[in-house]
Amino acid sequence: MKKIYLDYAATTPIDKMVLKAMEPYLKEKYGNTMSLHSFGQEAKIALENSRQVFANAINAKPNEIIFTSSATESNNLAVKGVVFGVPRLKKITSARPHIIISSIEHACVQESAKWLERGFKVTKIPVDKYGVVNPKDIENAIRPETILVSVIHASNEIGTIQNITEIGRICREKKVYFHTDASQSFGKIPIDVKKMNIDLLTASSHKMYGPKGAGILYVREGIKLVPLLHGGGQENGLRSSTVNVPAIVGFAKATELCQLEMNREGKRLINMRDRVIKELLKIKGAYLNGHPFERLPNNINIRFDFIEGESLIMRLDMEGIACSTGSACSSMKLEPSHVLLALGLKPEQAHGSLRISLGRFTTKQEINKLLNILPGIVVELRKLSPYGK
Amino acid sequence: MENNVYTKKVLKTFKNPHNYGTMKNPDGVGLVGNPTCGDVMKLYIKVGKPASAKASARQGGEVIKDIKFETFGCVAAIATSSIITDMVKGKTIKYAMNITKEGVVEKLGGLPKIKYHCSVLAVDALFKAIKDYESKKK
C-alpha cells in the first residue's frame, strides 16, 4: 500500500535539490566557520551566502538574520532575549515589565511566556471564533511597562493568518517590540518585515522541505537581545555554538525554492484545500475550524460531531493516510488543544478535530483517496459512539 | 522517555471491535467518563440464569448473557471497551466482579502509561452496569 502523507504542518520531507545542496557540506566542505584556514573560509562563505538568501526573502539586511537550531529556539530567544535585554532601560514605572501574546501561540512561545511569569506580567489576547486576533485588543492591552508583543503569523493548528501588518503598526506606534512566529507561513505566503512592521520573526527549515535542525530569528537592527547560549560568540554573540552549516545551506536552498514557486504552488494548494473542505463539509455534523479564507494554503482543520480525533487518525493511518489531530507535539497529551478551546469550542468538540495539511508532493490522486475513505471511517466510528443517536 | 506506541493487539482490537452498539431493554447500564476528557464509555449487560441447577452450582450464580459497548474516545478507550466485553461475555457476575484494570491491560498486551486510565474506565463501566442490574433486582 502506498502511504499518503498529509501532515506537512508537522514536518516535511526534504526536497531532493535541498539534499543535493547540502551534500558537499556533509562531506568534503566540513569546515568550522570560525576557523581561519581555507576549510573555515569555505564554510563561512556558505554561511554568509545563506544569510543573504533569508535577508532577500523577507526584505531584511543580512546582519539582521540569526541562525538557530529550530523555531523553538528562535521563539525562546526572541521572547526571553528581548525581555531580558530591555527591563533596565525601561524603568518608567514601578510595575512589573509586561508582555502580550495571543491565546493561540505555539507551545514554545506560550511556555516561554509562562516561564517568564515569575518576574514579568503576561497578558493573553483572546481570538474570535475563526482564530483571528483583533489588533484593537492588542492596542488596548499595551501598557506603559509593556515590552513585547508576540503573535503567531499563521496558526500551526487551524491555519488562520493574522493581520500582522496592523498589529505591527500599533506596536511601532506604541514603541513596543513586535515578534511573530512565522514557522508555518514562511515560504508559503509573502513576508516583508519592513512593510509588515515586524521587529522579530521566527522561521523554521523542516516545515518547508529543508532539513531538521535549522531555524532563523530575524532581529531588526538596533534591538538589543540577550543570548540564551553563551560561548564562542558565533552569530554576533547572540547564539554561541558551532554553526550547523549543512543544515543552514539546506534551509537556504529550501527558501530559494519556496520563494520561486510561492505563487503557483500557493494557488495549487488553495485549490486542493478548498476542494477537500467543500467535500468534507458535506458529511453531516462536520464543521471547519479556523477562518474560511484567511488561512494557510495548505491547512484544513475539520471537526466531526460524536467522534474522537485520535481514533480518526489511527483509522486513517490503517488505510495508509497520515494526518493529525492538532499539533504533533501534543499528540500524546490528554487535554484538548488550547487553540481549539480558544475558538470557543467545547472540549468534546475540540477532541473531534482533524488537521489535514497538504504540501509540495500532494497529488490529486491522494486527495481523491482521502475523500473516498474518510467519510466511511466517520460513519464507522459514529456507530461505536454513545452520542448522536 | 515513555513508550507511547500501541501494541498490535490494541490496534487490531480497535480496528475490529467486538460487541459494540446499543442494546434494547438491558438489565444493567454503566455510563462512565466525561466528554470533556475525551473518553465516555457506556456498557450494557443482559443477565440470565444458568441453563440448569447443575450448571448454576458449577458456575456459581447468574451469567452475563450479552454485553454491548458504546464508546466515544481514543484508540485505547475503544480497545479496552471491546476487550472487556470479550472477557466477561458468558461469564458469571462473580467472575466479572473480579476483573481488574491490570487484567484488561494484560489482555491487550500493554497500554501506553498515559492511557492506563482507559482500562480503569472500562472496569468502572462494567462494575457500574452490574451494580445497576443489582439495584434494579431488589
Does residue A134 sit at the B interface (CB-CB below 8 Å)?
A: no
> Looking at beta carbons, which residues of chain B come within 8 Å of A346?
35-36
pLDDT per residue as tens digits for the range A261-311: 999 999 999 999 999 999 999 999 999 999 999 999 999 999 999 999 999
* pLDDT score at A345: 94
Cβ A314–B70 below 8 Å, yes or no? no
Q: Please indicate if any CB of chain B lies within 8 Å of the CB of A385.
A: yes
The residues, any chain, with a CB within 8 Å of residue A377's CB and separated by 6 or more, are A312, A315, A316, A319
For residue A15, how many other CB atoms are within 10 A of its CB? Answer: 20
pLDDT per residue as tens, chain B (138 positions) = 556 789 999 999 999 999 999 999 999 999 999 877 788 999 999 999 876 666 666 666 899 999 999 999 999 999 999 999 999 999 999 999 999 999 999 999 999 988 888 889 999 999 999 999 999 887
Cα A159 from chain centre = 10
- Chain B within 8 Å of A307 (Cβ-Cβ)? yes
Q: What are phi and psi of A209, to 5 degrees?
A: 75, 15
A306 touches chain B (CB under 8 A): yes
Q: CB B72 to CB A314 under 8 A?
A: no
Per-10-residue mean pLDDT of chain A, 389 residues long, equals 95 98 98 97 98 98 98 98 75 79 97 94 98 98 96 98 98 97 98 98 98 98 95 96 98 98 98 98 97 98 93 95 74 78 92 96 98 97 91
Does residue B20 belong to the interface with chain A, where contact is any CB pair within 8 Å? yes
Q: Closest residue of A to B34, CA-based? A: A348
Q: Which residue of A has its CA nearest to B117?
A: A334
B48 near A CB under 8 A: no
* CA–CA dist A193, A200 (Å, integer): 8
Shortest CA distance to A10 belongs to which of A130, A183, A191, A179? A183
- Which residue type, as a one-letter code, is found at position A284? K
Please tell me the predicted confidence (pLDDT) of residue A348. 84
Cell output for B49 = 440464569
Predicted confidence at residue B36, as pLDDT, reads 78
CB contact under 8 A, B21 and A383: yes
Contact A332 B77 (CB under 8 A): no
Residue B59 is predicted with a pLDDT of 60
Strands (E) located in chain B: 28-34, 39-48, 63-72
Q: Which helix (H) or strand (E) holds A281?
A: none
Measured in angstroms, the CA of B79 and the nearest CA of chain A are apart by 10
Closest Cα in chain B to A308: B73
Q: Which residues lie below 8 Å from residue B58, measured CB to CB, with a gap of 6+?
A: none
Going by their DSSP bridges, the two strands A121-125 and A146-150 should be labelled as: unpaired
Report residue A254 as a C-alpha cell.
529550501
Q: Which domains does chain B have, with CATH numbers?
A: 8-137 (3.90.1010.10)
ipTM of the complex: 0.89
User: B109 and B119 in contact (C-beta within 8 Å)?
Assistant: no
The C-alpha atoms of residue B87 and residue B18 are separated, in whole angstroms, by: 11
Task: Give the global pTM.
Answer: 0.93
- Write the CA distances from A275 to A280, A288, A348, integer angstroms: 9, 13, 26
Given this model, what pLDDT does residue B121 score? 93
- Closest in A314, A336, A389 to B75, CB measured: A314
Instruction: State the count of interchain CB pairs (< 8 A) between A and B.
Output: 64
> Domains (ranges, CATH) in chain A?
4-11+262-384 (3.90.1150.10), 17-256 (3.40.640.10)
Decide if A329 is catalytic.
Answer: yes
B37 part of the active site: yes
First to last CA, chain B: 50
